[in-house]
């Protein structure tokens, strides 16, 4: 049965400006530049200030947005005060809201002292040959038939980034039949694969780690240590991978010196030969810090990195369009109304974006300032044992923001300190009590655990039980399973795999 009723609801919804701010907070400095370029492309009312325009301005950016008033803005305000907009009732708006450019360029939080005569230095783009291209170039130099080249090209295309062939040959036989109409068999693929395995770097085209190591060892000069290494990999690979050296000594009838020399030959090998090409492409990937902390004679100084942030402003031509509409005396057509709404929307969008950038910088600064003050001893000394327990709630209470906002600030952000560049989230850690009842950071315990493992006897590495006892002697009472968890988080293997001859 249909009926009508009146109901009141209290809903909390985020405005478009708040959603934009939340998204910008999560973006690190390196990605923010791309986000700004995207906005510049999508919104014609937003434009980037040229270096010449910046140099001609007498004012500089500061944290106080009220100090940013240009002569151009004052003249515009005078014009808008003297003339009232004559727009239909449905399109009325306050011109001062659109003509005032105050607070629009204060989001940078740094002085821009760039002269138009200054040279602009940019990193050159490196070009190099990819992994698969290099193999195909080497393959083209081989004296092989066209059919063999086609099959080999297909096999090379199935190699992963590490240089391994992870697909079985039976499946590749079917692929060649369906995709390239080449009828072949496993034996022929084995012969073609051997040709690929002769290419550089050694170890390419292997189907397992064992085969990869053997391919590299067979390329070496067959000295006694290399022959012993081949024998160990072929017959005792499981024992070697588990570091059961005592079993290898008994089964292979080797002395400790011979085993040590053979292991040294194996350790020189590359388990992922294809990575040498990926390293070439990764050279352009680098960390751009979002915050910079300087130590000025015992006083910490926090700076936001705005080096790659362009100066933004609203396009003057859009202001002129609004002025022309406000000066119009005649009745506006539907086309004029649509054009006016378009201009107003684009100007509003540009102002929201610039305001969101300003709020982003302010939120980043006050949050990082609270983190810097909380971990002041660490940023002064660089000693990880000085790190205090700190969770998102601690910083949120200090700055008066929501925990989710602090989490967005800490996400994917880096801070440059006198002791290196670190991920901001790495400074957050839970607290534990030591033997004296004091709260200590779990990162402090991890640092001591790492020091204990680095100073252990490599021939008799400490077990998790022994590490627990050593921490207990230092006043950190934690369970063995907690020691194992921290060790795994540090990327340190168990004692058996840390053993060295």
Question: Which of 328, 348, 363 corresponds to the end of one domain?
Answer: 363
| Per-residue confidence (pLDDT) for residue 76, from 0 to 100 | 39
- Specify if 486 maps to a domain: yes
Are 355 and 216 found together in one domain? Answer: no
Phi, psi of 420 (to 5 degrees): 135, 175
Same domain, 320 and 181: no
Token duo for residue 451: 């020091």
Residue 410 lies in a domain: no
Query: What is the three-class DSSP state of 235?
Result: helix
Tell me, what's the pLDDT at 369? Answer: 92
Do residues 261 and 156 share a domain?
Answer: yes
- Residue 441 tokens read as 């950071």
Same domain, yes or no: 184 and 271: yes
Looking at residue 65, what is its pLDDT?
A: 36
Tokens of 491: 């990327």
pLDDT score, position 194: 92
Q: Which DSSP string do the residues of 471-488 spell out, in sequence order?
A: HHHTT----HHHHHHHHH
- What is the Cα–Cα distance from 297 to 351, expressed in whole angstroms? 40
Residue 173 and residue 40 in one domain: no
Q: Is residue 297 part of a domain?
A: no
Assess if residue 393 is contained within a domain. no
pLDDT value of residue 125: 45
Does this model's pTM top 0.75? My answer is: no
Q: What confidence score (pLDDT) does residue 77 get?
A: 41
The reply to whether 451 falls in a domain is: yes
CATH code, domain with 444: 1.10.10.60
- Do 314 and 264 lie in one domain? The reply is no
Q: Is 317 helix (H, G, I), strand (E, B) or coil?
A: helix
Domain range for residue 55? 16-112+306-363
Residue 294 within a domain: no
Last residue of a domain, one of 227, 258, 278: 278
Query: Could you tell me if 268 and 314 lie in one domain?
Result: no
Are 151 and 263 within one domain? yes
Q: Is residue 299 part of a domain?
A: no
Give, for all 501 residues of the chain, the pLDDT tens digit: 677 888 887 776 767 777 877 888 777 877 888 888 888 888 888 888 765 554 444 443 343 434 434 343 334 344 434 343 333 433 445 555 555 544 444 444 444 444 444 444 444 444 556 778 888 888 889 889 999 999 999 999 899 888 899 888 999 999 888 988 889 899 999 999 999 999 988 999 999 999 999 999 999 989 999 999 999 999 999 888 888 888 888 888 888 899 989 999 998 899 988 877 665 444 445 778 888 999 888 888 998 887 767 788 888 888 787 777 666 555 567 777 787 788 888 888 888 888 888 888 888 899 999 999 988 888 888 887 788 888 888 898 888 888 888 888 888 888 899 888 888 888 887 767 666 666 677 777 888 888 888 888 888 888 888 888 888 888 888 888 888 888 888 888 888 778 776
Per-residue exposure over 370-403, b if at least 16 CB sit within 10 Å of its own CB, e if not: bbbebbeebbbeeebebbbbbebebbbebbebee
Contact 488, 446 (CB under 8 A): no
Is residue 466 domain-resident?
A: yes
Q: Are residues 315 and 449 in the same domain?
A: no
Of 259, 278, 297, the last residue of a domain is 278
For the chain, how many structural domains are there in total?
3
* Pair (209, 271) in one structural domain: yes
* Cα gap 88→92, rounded to integer Å: 6
- Residues 480, 357 share a domain: no
Cα–Cα dist 301/372, whole Å = 9
242 and 274 belong to one structural domain: yes
């Amino acid at each position: 049965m249909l009926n009508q009723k009146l109901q009141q609801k209290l809903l909390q919804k985020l405005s478009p400006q708040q959603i934009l701010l939340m998204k910008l907070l999560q973006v690190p400095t390196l990605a923010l530049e791309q986000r700004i370029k995207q906005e510049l492309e999508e919104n014609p009312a937003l434009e980037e200030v040229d270096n010449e325009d910046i140099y001609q301005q007498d004012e500089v950016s500061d944290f106080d947005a009220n100090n940013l008033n240009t002569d151009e803005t004052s003249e515009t305000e005078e014009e808008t005060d003297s003339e009232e907009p004559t727009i239909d009732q449905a399109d009325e708006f306050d011109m001062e809201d659109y003509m005032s450019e105050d607070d629009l360029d204060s989001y940078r939080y740094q002085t821009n002292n760039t002269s138009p005569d200054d040279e602009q230095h940019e990193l050159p783009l490196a070009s190099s040959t990819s992994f698969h291209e290099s193999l195909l170039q080497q393959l083209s130099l081989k004296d092989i038939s066209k059919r063999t080249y086609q099959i080999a090209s297909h096999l090379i295309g199935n190699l992963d980034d590490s240089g391994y062939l992870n697909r079985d040959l039976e499946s590749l036989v079917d692929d060649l039949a369906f995709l390239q109409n080449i009828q072949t068999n496993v034996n022929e693929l084995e012969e073609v694969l051997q040709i690929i395995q002769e290419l550089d770097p050694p170890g390419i085209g292997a189907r397992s780690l064992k085969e990869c190591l053997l391919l590299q060892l067979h390329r070496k000069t067959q000295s006694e240590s290399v022959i012993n290494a081949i024998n160990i990999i072929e017959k005792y690979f499981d024992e070697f991978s588990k570091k059961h050296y005592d079993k290898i000594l008994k089964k292979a009838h080797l002395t400790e010196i011979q085993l040590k020399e053979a292991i040294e030959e194996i350790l020189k090998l590359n388990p992922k030969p294809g990575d040498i090409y990926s390293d070439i492409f990764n050279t352009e990937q680098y960390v751009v810090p979002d915050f910079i902390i300087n130590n000025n004679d015992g006083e910490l100084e926090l700076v936001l990195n705005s080096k790659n942030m362009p100066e933004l402003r609203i396009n003057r031509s859009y202001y002129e369009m609004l002025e022309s509409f406000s000066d119009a005396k005649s009745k506006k057509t539907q086309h004029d109304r649509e054009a006016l709404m378009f201009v107003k929307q684009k100007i509003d969008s540009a102002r929201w974006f610039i305001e969101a950038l300003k709020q982003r910088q302010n939120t980043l600064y006050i949050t990082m300032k609270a983190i810097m003050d909380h971990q002041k001893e660490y940023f002064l000394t660089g000693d990880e044992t000085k790190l205090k327990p700190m969770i998102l709630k601690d910083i949120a209470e200090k700055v008066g923001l929501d925990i989710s906002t602090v989490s967005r600030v800490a996400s994917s952000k880096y801070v440059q300190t006198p002791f290196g560049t670190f991920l901001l989230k790495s400074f957050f850690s839970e607290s534990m009590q030591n033997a004296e009842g004091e709260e200590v950071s779990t990162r402090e315990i991890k640092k001591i655990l790492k020091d204990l493992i680095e100073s252990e006897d490599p021939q008799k590495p400490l077990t998790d039980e022994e590490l627990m006892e050593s921490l207990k002697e230092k006043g950190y009472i934690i369970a063995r399973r907690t020691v194992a968890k921290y060790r795994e988080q540090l990327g340190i293997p168990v004692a058996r795999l840390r053993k060295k001859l």
